[in-house]
Amino acid sequence: MGVDAGVAGAGTDAGDGASDASCRSRHYHSGDARLFCVRAGTLRRLARRRPVPEKLKPLREFLVLGLLYSLTLILIHQLLWNNGTELGHQLPQAAIDFGARFDLPLRELAVRGYTVMISLLIGVGSGVAIGLFASLARVVRGRLERSAAGRGGGR
C-alpha cells in the first residue's frame, strides 16, 4: 500500500468531492499532510447533517433557548457593569472574591470573565434541564398513547 492509498482511505469517505481527490492526487511524504487529510475527512463526516430523533428535538430546542438566555444575561450584566450600582445592581461576592486572586491589571478581566461563565452555566444549564424534562415527557406521552391504542382505548 503506497502513501497515496493510505492517505486516501484514512479518515475520508468515498464521494467527498474535490477535497478527497486532492488528498489522493498529491504525493505526501510528511505525516503532517496525512494528518491534515485525516482531520479534513473527519470534519466532513461530522459536519453532515443527521436528522435528530423526535424524542431529542425538545432537548435541542431548549438548549438553543438556554444559550440565547445566557447571551441575554451576559449582555445585561455587561450593560449594567458601570451604571448598575446606581440602579441597585451589585456584583456577586463570589466574582469579587475570584477577582481578588489576580493582580490589579487582570482583576477586572477576571471578574468579568467569571460573570460571563456563570451566565453561560445558568442559561445552558437551564436549557438542558428543561430540555431533558421535555424529552422525557415526550417519551412517556408516546408510550402512553401507544399503550392506549394497543388496548383499543383510542377514540
Residue boundaries of the structural domains of the chain: 3-47, 54-150
Digit-coded pLDDT (tens) for 30-75: 555 555 555 566 656 656 666 767 767 889 999 999 999 999 999 9
Please, is 20 exposed, middle or buried when counting C-beta atoms within 10 Å of its C-beta (0-12, 13-18, 19+)?
A: buried
pLDDT for the residue 79? 84
Please, is 61 exposed, middle or buried when counting C-beta atoms within 10 Å of its C-beta (0-12, 13-18, 19+)?
A: middle
Residue in the structure block whose three cell numbers are 453561560? 120
pTM flag (> 0.75): no
